[in-house]
């Protein structure tokens, strides 16, 4: 049953993401939400490697060039 529902759920998520307006303020807020979720996941582990990886990812995201976001959007 899960196998048959997964493609349907995946399509719903893709449609929802495509419906999000391309607003810079909204995009920045979504990035902050993602970083918060990642930070909580990292804190739940007991290794230092993922802490270091998170720091690098957060730094890279915060220092990104705005025009790079289009590389990740498929239409």
Residue 13 has a pLDDT of: 83
pLDDT in tens, 16-75: 878 776 777 777 888 888 888 888 888 888 888 888 888 888 888 777 655 455 555 555
Q: Rounded to the nearest 5°, which phi and psi values hold at 8?
A: -65, -45
Residue 57 has a pLDDT of: 84
The dihedral through the CA atoms of 24, 29, 30, 35 has a sign that is positive
Q: Is the overall model pTM greater than 0.85, yes or no?
A: no
DSSP 23: -
What does the H/E/C string look like for 58-69?
A: HHHHHCCCHHHH
Residue 32 has a pLDDT of: 84
């Amino acid at each position: 049953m899960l196998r048959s529902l997964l493609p349907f759920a995946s399509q719903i998520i893709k449609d929802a993401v495509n419906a999000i307006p391309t607003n810079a303020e909204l995009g920045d807020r979504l990035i902050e939400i993602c970083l918060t979720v990642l930070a909580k996941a990292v804190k739940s582990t007991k290794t230092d490697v993922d802490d270091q990886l998170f720091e690098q990812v957060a730094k890279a995201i915060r220092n990104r060039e705005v025009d790079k976001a289009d590389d990740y959007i498929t239409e």
